[in-house]
Structure 1
Amino acid sequence: MDIALLDLLLRWAHFAGALVWIGHNYATAVTRPRYVPLVAADLADPNGPRQRDLLQREHGTFRYASLLTLGTGLAMLGLRGALPGALGLQGGLAPIGVGLWLGVIMVCNLWFVLWPHQKRVLGFVPAPIEERLRCSRITFLSARVNTMLSIPLLFFMAAGSHGGALLP
């Protein structure tokens, strides 16, 4: 496959994955701007209206979009031989490297903090009601961290190719 075509496919996959992943973060922040605590009755009945509402909001697409976004970003940098410099925050690759590291933090937060707690809230992993209620707060805060980190992430990702004024 031609390198230019591969680069184009990677860019579009990166862009589409980012739209789904970051779009989900922003949509969640807009539709639920503040934390509304769950109560034990919300989670007691697996077929209750509140539990059904929680399950309807849960969809794994955005989690896998995060992996697609990170993977295609790494592949694009690797294709150009820029991955070591970006990871090391070296020279003109420092802005894109900061964006890359923010993306890694966000993916780790999603997969290793938010998702394990969300599985308890949804009842995918058995846990007492008190634990599920505690986990609901953690998932809310973890999602907000990713939403907030996405702002500098987008800035540094754009600055990597369009931020000439940032370069020494």
Structure 2
Amino acid sequence: MQNVMIQVIDALAKFGLDKLERALIFGVVLAAALAFATGSFEISQVWFAFLFRWLHVLSGVMWIGLLWYFNFVQIPSMPKIPDEQKPAIGKIIAPTALFWFRWAALSTVVTGLILATLNGYIVQALLLGYFNGGPATYIGLGMWLGLIMAYNVWNIIWPNQKKVLGLVEATDDEKKAAARTAMLTSRLNTMFSIPMLYFMVAAGHLA
């Protein structure tokens, strides 16, 4: 099996699989081909709602994946990295990761709100189903936690990270304070992500 997979990888490499954009294009083409082959593609309101659910999940995977990367990998690893190597993190890796991080957060929110609108539960969800339990309460709790997290990304984490990364002028003391604020807010979002994911999944399985 391993040898077969290596041969497949080598064959795909001839088509430029080493380039991220081509891997993404191939992924979309493969998804479309399998959707047509299995009959799971049909233009309808139900399918469009499903499309936005799929996009919502893709965006959420990117967003929460990067959030957890920062908190499980980058932040704990920084004290272990030699000082002469740290600029590579601050000037190359972090700005790129933060770009995808903040836009994935926005995409998750937008696709989620569109999905809730298409499925007709947006008002009930935002009102938490009057907190009577059930799908509207569950998905509403997940939505509000996600909205708070996205607000934190754009209005607290990113403005402070711009100071830390030198994208806006700041004194050393301001950079130090900004780094702490960004880190603590990221920790808060990590904390929120646990109940947020619980209630997002509960809405479809515990109601």
Same fold (TM over 0.5): yes
Whether the 8 Å CA contact 2:49–2:119 is kept in 1: the answer is no
Q: What do residues 86-120 of structure 1 show as CA deviations (whole Å, max 9, x unaligned)?
A: 00011430110000000000000111110000000
Equivalent residue for 2:111?
72
The Cα RMSD (Å) is 1.9
Question: Which amino acid in the other structure matches residue 110 of structure 2?
Answer: G
The structure 2 residue matched to 1:112, chosen from 145, 155, 158, is 155
| TM-score of the superposed pair, with normalisation by structure 1 | 0.85
Q: Which structure has the highest helix share of the two?
A: 2
Trace 1:11-22 onto structure 2 (pairs within 5 A): 11-22=53-64
Q: How many residues align?
A: 155
How much has 1:52 moved relative to structure 2? 3.1
Aligned equivalent of 2:101: 62
Q: In structure 1, how many angstroms separate the alpha carbons of the residues matched to 2:125 and 2:168?
A: 38
How far did 1:49 drift?
A: 4.3
Contact 1:35 1:137 in 2 (8 A): no
What is the CA-CA distance between 1:36 and the residue it aligns to?
A: 6.1
Partner of 2:197: 154
Q: Report the residue type matching 2:49 in the other structure.
A: D
**Residues 51 and 122 in structure 1, CA contact (< 8 A), matched pair in contact too:** no
Say which one has the larger Rg. Answer: 2
Aligned to 1:127, what secondary structure does the other structure show? coil
**Identical columns (%):** 37
Give the number of the structure with larger relative contact order, counting CA–CA contacts within 8 Å between residues 6 or more apart: 1
For structure 2, the residue ranges without an aligned partner over 5 or more in a row are: 1-42
- Contact 1:35 1:140 (8 Å CA) reproduced: no
Give ranges in structure 1 of 5+ residues lacking alignment.
43-47
